[in-house]
Amino acid sequence: MKNKRLRLPLILVMILSVILVLPLTVTAQKMAGDSEIGLGVAYGFDVGADGEMGMNVNLYRSLTDGIRIGADFIYYLLNDPQFQNPRFIELNGNANYHLVNQEMFRMYVLVGVHFASFRYNRPVTVDSEESKNEFGLNAGGGIEFDLEGIILFAEPKLTVGGFDQYSITIGGRFIF
């Protein structure tokens, strides 16, 4: 039992040490003109009754060494018994500014626009599809680890306006 109590703080200290030291050990930067395509898993904390998982596809283009623009699409896997055939999708357009832009580690802030659509059938009536579409604004950030061939990322984001929600996406991107 004592070893288990010590293991978690030790792991957290090791991860924090790597995150703090890694940017100091590398020198090259992400370059203007690089394009990335990625896949990820999203979790929307305010989607559905208790939050839901989703699938993410994203595409980014670096405009300068520190600024990039991109879009992502999220299809949430809803399981809400009060609706038949529910579907919740997001389309986001974001701009990123890199606070740290090193060869193996990047940290950025993001702002953007958000479109969401929720469609479902009510179980009471036959073939009565209803939908709700909303626009909003995004604010968030992210970190990336470049493992030479694949870029692992984690990106928390807050959306306000329309479907207000907090979400986090993790996944991988490939430079092309």
Of residues 80 and 107, more confidently modeled: 107
Q: Per-domain residue ranges for the chain? A: 2-175
Mean pLDDT value across residues 131-135: 89
pLDDT (0 to 100) of residue 23: 47
The SS3 assignment for 41 reads strand
pLDDT at residue 33, as a whole number: 76
Instruction: Determine contact, residues 134/113, Cβ cutoff 8 Å.
Output: no
Q: How is residue 122 written in tokens?
A: 């009510």
| CATH class of the structural domain 2-175 | mainly beta
Angle at 94 between CA 90 and CA 100, to 5 degrees: 130
* pLDDT, position 1: 42
Higher pLDDT, 87 or 35: 35
The beta strands (E) that lie in the chain are given as: 35-44, 52-62, 67-76, 84-101, 105-121, 129-146, 151-160, 165-175
pLDDT in tens, 137-160: 999 999 999 998 799 999 999 999
Instruction: Give residue 20's pLDDT band: very low, low, confident or very high (50, 70, 90).
Output: low
Nearest residue to 102 (alpha-carbon basis) of 14, 1, 12, 20:
20
pLDDT > 50? residue 24 = no
Q: Please, which pLDDT band fits residue 19 given cuts at 50, 70 and 90?
A: low
Predicted local confidence at residue 161, as pLDDT: 83
Inter-residue contact 53 to 77 (CB < 8 Å)? yes
pTM (2 decimals)?
0.75
Q: Exposure string (b/e) for 102-127, b if CB count within 10 Å is 16 or more?
A: beebbebebebbbebebebbeeeeee
